[in-house]
């Protein structure tokens, strides 16, 4: 996404969706970022009839801006760390087997960037199931004295995905409609989105407004900027320190990213300052590596969409109004099973992947598609229902 505001005029309304009246799809997926495209991929691999709808096209949102580095989370423990460790292994394997052209594999060097970060890295070393070493000899010559003196570890494999090309490859052969969806309606057992009819809908709308009523869900939007640069310095590993630096391509280019800006809102009037972004990115990169003859080639900016508990969101969408309307006792919510809430019929979402969308999407989309096809339950820690429970308690 280069600049959302300047592209607004390109978006169509839902009435402009091209004529698909004759065909009934199994699934319509709204949003063609990495979450929508991987969901489309797994469902179509299972012979489902899928259509993607996006207001701007493939990888137009946060996904088009991503690095997209494939790494685990270097911290001491907890649900997110465990999930990311599993997703890191799964996604490396998935991308390498199915899309080898779109992923660059190299060793991954993680360097602690503070005392607190060092404590987390040490705890990671004690608890991780991944093989690691502390041998930095292959990369030492380009590291700064500060980076060399900091605690670090090396994983045998890190990945960097070509974000836009990967999303396009995942969506290859899948119908795509370019339109903005403003509303959904459900009639006679089918969802209707413009002229498109489908048995189910998956919302994969990233940081944009969700098109159904979910008063219980608030997303955390974090603006980010990354750059591609040309440099005469050869970087052999993915290096993660104050930010991430990719290994050099054969042409001598590499990706540097990304910034985390909690305040910038691309939907408002403020204009993003690209020069200030370059300065921040290059200063942070210079803390780790002495990059020579640097020329900035391309900017990428976009929003990450995260949840308040930092875990991703995958599963069926609770209809809050209907659930609360019924003979619903908020005081007894702890004893009520998830299945007892009212859900929008065959309406699912996949979102909240924060800064790890390319790591998480293959695993989550596979689990979602298996769940939809009746082949497995979803992890209740990750479903949207957890936010409904918390919100409903506050209403009571």
Binding range to ligand FAD, per CB under 6 A, among 74-82, 130-138, 198-206, 362-370? 198-206
Alpha helices in the chain (DSSP H): 4-7, 34-45, 62-65, 79-98, 115-127, 145-149, 163-170, 274-286, 320-325, 357-372, 385-395
355 binds ligand FAD (CB under 6 A): yes
Binding range to ligand FAD, per CB under 6 A, among 67-75, 97-105, 263-271, 330-338? 67-75
C-alpha angle 336/338/339, rounded to 5°?
100
110 binds ligand FAD (CB under 6 A): no
Q: Which two tokens stand for residue 120?
A: 């987390």
63 vs 323, which CB is nearer to ligand FAD? Answer: 63
Give the residues across from 302 on adjacent strands: 224
C-alpha angle 203/209/215, rounded to 5°?
90
202 binds ligand FAD (CB under 6 A): no
- The whole-angstrom separation of Cα 181 and Cα 210 is 10
CB of 213 to ligand FAD, least distance (A): 14
- The whole-angstrom separation of Cα 70 and Cα 179 is 31
Is the dihedral angle over the CA atoms 141, 146, 150, 154 positive or is it negative? negative
Task: Report the residue from 224, 277, 315, 384 that binds ligand FAD according to the rule CB under 6 A.
Answer: 224
- The whole-angstrom separation of Cα 51 and Cα 17 is 12
Binding mask 283-302 for ligand FAD (x = CB under 6 A): -------------------x
| Three-class secondary structure of residue 294 per DSSP | coil
34 binds ligand FAD (CB under 6 A): yes
CB of 215 to ligand FAD, least distance (A): 18
- The whole-angstrom separation of Cα 140 and Cα 161 is 24
307 binds ligand FAD (CB under 6 A): no
Query: Strand 69-70 and strand 152-161: pairing?
Result: antiparallel
Task: Report the residue from 159, 206, 247, 384 that binds ligand FAD according to the rule CB under 6 A.
Answer: 206
Task: Report the residue from 27, 50, 54, 153 that binds ligand FAD according to the rule CB under 6 A.
Answer: 54
- The whole-angstrom separation of Cα 221 and Cα 352 is 9
Binding range to ligand FAD, per CB under 6 A, among 50-58, 76-84, 183-191, 322-330? 50-58
Subset of 127-166 contacting ligand FAD (CB under 6 A): none
Binding range to ligand FAD, per CB under 6 A, among 76-84, 199-207, 272-280, 384-392? 199-207
CB of 206 to ligand FAD, least distance (A): 2
72 binds ligand FAD (CB under 6 A): no
Q: Are the C-beta atoms of 262 and 272 separated by less than 8 Å? A: no
Binding residues for ligand FAD, total number by CB under 6 A: 44
109 vs 392, which CB is nearer to ligand FAD? Answer: 109
Binding range to ligand FAD, per CB under 6 A, among 127-135, 314-322, 347-355, 373-381? 347-355
Task: Report the residue from 73, 180, 200, 242 that binds ligand FAD according to the rule CB under 6 A.
Answer: 180
242 binds ligand FAD (CB under 6 A): no
Q: Are the C-beta atoms of 393 and 330 separated by less than 8 Å? A: yes
65 binds ligand FAD (CB under 6 A): yes
Task: Report the residue from 51, 92, 121, 211 that binds ligand FAD according to the rule CB under 6 A.
Answer: 211
Under 8 Å CB-to-CB from 24, ≥6 apart: which residues?
Answer: 49, 190, 197, 198, 199
257 binds ligand FAD (CB under 6 A): yes
Under 8 Å CB-to-CB from 314, ≥6 apart: which residues?
Answer: 348, 349, 350, 364, 367, 368, 378, 379, 382, 383
Q: Which residues bind ligand FAD (CB under 6 A)?
A: 30-36, 53-56, 60-63, 65-69, 180-181, 204-208, 211, 224, 226, 257-258, 302-305, 351, 353-359
């Amino acid at each position: 996404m280069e600049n959302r505001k300047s592209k607004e005029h390109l978006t169509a309304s839902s009435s402009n969706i091209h004529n698909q009246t004759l065909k009934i799809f199994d699934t319509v997926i709204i949003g063609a970022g990495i979450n929508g495209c991987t969901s489309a991929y797994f469902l179509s691999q299972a012979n489902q009839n899928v259509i993607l709808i996006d207001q701007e096209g493939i990888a137009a949102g946060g996904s088009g801006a991503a690095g997209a580095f494939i790494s685990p989370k270097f911290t001491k423990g907890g649900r997110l760390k465990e999930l990311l460790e599993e997703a890191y292994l799964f996604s490396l394997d998935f991308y390498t087997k199915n899309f080898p052209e779109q992923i660059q594999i190299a060793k991954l060097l993680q360097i602690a960037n503070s005392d607190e970060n060092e404590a987390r890295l040490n705890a990671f070393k004690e608890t991780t199931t991944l093989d690691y070493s502390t041998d930095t000899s292959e990369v030492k010559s380009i590291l700064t004295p500060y980076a060399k003196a900091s605690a670090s570890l090396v994983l045998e494999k890190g990945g960097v995905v070509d974000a836009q090309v990967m999303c396009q490859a995942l969506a290859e052969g899948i119908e795509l409609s370019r339109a903005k969806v403003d509303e959904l309606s459900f009639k006679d057992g089918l969802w209707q989105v413009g002229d498109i009819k489908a048995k189910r809908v998956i919302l994969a709308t990233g940081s944009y407004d969700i098109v159904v009523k979910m008063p219980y869900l608030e997303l955390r939007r974090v603006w980010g900027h990354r750059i591609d640069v040309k440099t005469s310095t050869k970087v052999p590993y993915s290096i993660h320190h104050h930010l991430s630096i990719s290994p050099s391509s054969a042409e001598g280019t590499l990706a540097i990213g990304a910034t985390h800006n909690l305040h910038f809102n691309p939907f408002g009037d403020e204009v993003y300052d690209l020069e200030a972004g370059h300065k921040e990115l290059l200063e942070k990169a210079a803390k780790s590596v002495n990059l020579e003859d640097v020329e900035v080639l391309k900017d990428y900016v976009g929003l990450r969409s995260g949840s308040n508990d930092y875990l991703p969101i995958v599963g069926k969408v609770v209809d809050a109004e209907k659930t609360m309307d019924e003979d619903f006792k908020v005081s007894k919510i702890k004893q009520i099973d998830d299945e007892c809430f009212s859900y929008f019929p065959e309406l699912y979402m996949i979102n909240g992947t924060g800064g790890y969308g390319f790591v998480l999407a293959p695993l989550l989309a596979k689990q979602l598609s298996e769940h939809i096809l009746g082949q497995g339950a979803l992890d209740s820690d990750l479903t949207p229902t957890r936010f409904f429970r918390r919100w409903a308690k506050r209403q009571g």
